Amino acid sequence: MAGKRAELRKQTPFSRWNDFLKWKAESGDEVALQVLRSKKAPIERKVQQEFAKANPSASNWKLKQNQIRVDSSLVWKDKRKLISIAKMLQLQAEEAKRSNDTNKRSLDKITWRVDSSGNVLYSLKSGGMVKDNGDKIFFSINDSTAKIVAEKLAKRMFGKKTVIKGNVISRQCSSKISLRQNPNLRI
């Protein structure tokens, strides 16, 4: 029996369904990402986004982002995670265009995975981590490369107006002040 189990383990290296789904989501499969995030909603299969097999040019990643945006089978949260991966890979492609020296590239050999909550976790070759949860981007506090990469990703995700507090980057709030926020405000 142990021999049969070992043979089956070689064919299917995942002992849990969620591990398999995480692996598929990391490969760019939006259906797996939907399953990880879903509770009881039905999921329809559409053409799989293949990040790993795509052309690494920056213009191709912009096209991929547009395809994700117009895909009506995905909810916005799912689109946001897939767009995050595409934007990070676009940054990687742009960096590769600027520098031929692999030692100077901070995004070279970047890997990502999607956790069970749907957060995208990027691992850098320097050992630092960048986490995108949709509203905020977190980075390893002791890694200057992770901070730089997180700032670049935040500018792509949120625009130029971002706020950095500690190791968290978020979108800058609008300057509208309500009476609830400041009761001493006179009109």
Model pLDDT for residues 74-117, shown as the tens digit of each residue: 676 677 777 788 888 888 888 888 877 777 777 877 888 888 77
Q: Which residue has the higher pLDDT, 184 or 119?
A: 119
Cα Rg of the chain, angstroms:
20
The confidence band for 50, taking pLDDT boundaries of 50, 70 and 90, is very low
Global confidence as pTM:
0.58
Question: Residue 58 has what pLDDT?
Answer: 53
Average pLDDT over residues 38-63: 52
Could you tell me if 130 and 139 are in contact, meaning their C-beta atoms sit under 8 angstroms apart? Answer: yes
Q: Which residue has the higher pLDDT, 157 or 44?
A: 157
Residue 163's beta-bridge partner residues? 170
Question: Residue 47 has what pLDDT?
Answer: 39
Extract the tokens encoding 166: 């500690």
Q: pLDDT > 70: what percent of the chain?
A: 74
Consecutive H or E run containing 169: strand 168-171
Instruction: Say what angle helices 76-98 and 30-37 make with each other, to 10 degrees.
Output: 130
Place of tokens 């971002």: 162
Question: Residue 57 has what pLDDT?
Answer: 54
Residue 7 has pLDDT above 60, yes or no: yes
Of 93, 81, 92, 70, whose CA–CA distance to 157 is shortest? 81
Extract the tokens encoding 132: 């995108």
> What is the DSSP secondary structure assignment for residue 48, as one 8-state letter?
P
